[in-house]
Amino acid sequence: MCTAVEWWERHQVVLYLAAIAVGAVVGLLVPAVADPLESAINPVLGLLLYATFLGVPFTAIGRAFTDWRFLGVVLVLNFVVVPVVVFGLSRAVAADQAVLVGVLFVLLTPCVDYVIVFTGLAGGARARLLAATPLLMLLQIVLLPVYLWLMAGAEVVGAFDPHPFVEAFLLLIVLPLVLAAATQLLAKRFRAGRAIEGVVLAAMVPLMMLTLAVVIGSQVFGVSSALAQLLIAVPVFVVFVLIVAPLGALLGSAARLDVPSRRAATFSGVTRNSLVVLPLALALPASFALTPLVVVTQTLVELVAMVVMVAGVPRLIRPRISTAENV
């Protein structure tokens, strides 16, 4: 098993791209798989996050709560800098209200789930980002209606429902976190606990591949069916990544964060909460039928961007001298 684990960790970026390609091909050739795969997203993502949390010592999470400088950078980036960027970029699609609302929904909400996985893969401070998730979730629930009112008008605000945010936080953060903590305690006392811990941690790369394939396979056909209308949003999502990634790195550098924290801040700024806001988009009136597909389009763009960033961010944000990386 060790040889297999070493192999797929060494080739993880290529494997993730292959998983995206497989998901896209299956989703396009067999549209009937979309619904079953969509139902599998949360269970698969929850399992991936359980594995991710299992690899984070819980003492490190406790220490991360006291790192106010990192928390300040992440909050300023996501709730001050990003909204300004989003407002500017969203003017390019302002003529189509359904597209505009989709762009705003997804780009104004920072990710709180698989961003932790990608951050860890790039050598970022997973524990610190995990500690920031309650604040990120709470603030986006409070501020999203305000941003929507300012950028899209009062009509959209009436459809805002915080329940999907709360449900996602409980199912995708709290539950996997509790299970991971229980597994760590078992691993300290029992051989079976150590065996479970070892198997799950060794399966991180296959779990990420499965998640990518499931998400892409479940959504790609719906996007392809309205591709002509959705193409206008794709440059917005690509440019968002190209702008926010360096801004996150610069803000982290200005705050004198260490290398793992700068990487984590960069991923937090770029990665959006698409899987959580999708139910919000689906709940909108019929005149916004295109909005959920806009959200899904961002997911497809982002997943490719994440795989590229896993390879690129460690090369761009690196220590000037050889130092021990923080977890």
The pLDDT, as a whole number, for residue 60 is 63
- Among 131-145, 191-205, 277-291, the least confident range: 277-291
Higher per-residue confidence, 193 vs 249:
249
The pLDDT, as a whole number, for residue 319 is 82
HSE of 306 in the Cβ direction (CA atoms, 13 Å)? 28
HSE of 27 in the Cβ direction (CA atoms, 13 Å)? 26
Q: What's the whole-number mean pLDDT along residues 114-124?
A: 88
Which residue, among 297, 296, 259, has the nearest Cα to 278 in the 3D structure?
A: 296
2, pLDDT greater than 70: no
CA–CA dist 278, 292 (Å, integer): 6
pLDDT in tens, 77-115: 999 999 999 999 999 999 888 899 999 999 999 987 778
Contact (Cβ atoms closer than 8 angstroms) between residue 240 and residue 84: no
Q: Enumerate domains of the chain plus CATH numbers.
A: 19-309 (1.20.1530.20)
246, pLDDT greater than 90: yes
Per-residue confidence band for 327, with pLDDT thresholds at 50, 70 and 90: very low
Which residue, among 277, 49, 269, 270, has the nearest Cα to 173 in the 3D structure?
A: 49
Longest dimension (CA), the chain: 61
Which residue, among 241, 235, 216, 251, has the nearest Cα to 309 in the 3D structure?
A: 241
Contact (Cβ atoms closer than 8 angstroms) between residue 128 and residue 64: yes
Helix axes 82-90, 97-107, angle to 10 degrees: 160
Per-residue confidence band for 264, with pLDDT thresholds at 50, 70 and 90: very high
Number of residues assigned to the chain:
327
pLDDT in tens, 178-232: 898 899 899 888 888 889 888 888 888 898 889 889 988 988 888 888 888 889 9
CA–CA dist 177, 126 (Å, integer): 13
Q: What's the whole-number mean pLDDT along residues 40-46?
A: 87
The pLDDT, as a whole number, for residue 32 is 93
Joined together, the tokens standing for residue 30 give 């067999």
Higher per-residue confidence, 306 vs 57:
306
324, pLDDT greater than 80: no
Higher per-residue confidence, 308 vs 56:
308
Q: What's the whole-number mean pLDDT along residues 252-268?
A: 95
CA–CA dist 95, 88 (Å, integer): 14
Q: Rounded to the nearest 5 degrees, what angle is found at the Cα of 178, between the Cα atoms of 269 and 180?
A: 80
Report which residue type is found at 280. L
71, pLDDT greater than 70: yes
Per-residue confidence band for 326, with pLDDT thresholds at 50, 70 and 90: very low
CA–CA dist 85, 82 (Å, integer): 5
Mean predicted lDDT score pLDDT of the chain:
86
280, pLDDT greater than 90: no
CA–CA dist 226, 78 (Å, integer): 30
Hey, which of 210-214, 250-254, 274-278 has the most confident mean pLDDT? Answer: 250-254
Joined together, the tokens standing for residue 73 give 């950078």
- Among 53-67, 244-258, 261-275, the least confident range: 53-67
The pLDDT, as a whole number, for residue 62 is 66
165, pLDDT greater than 80: no
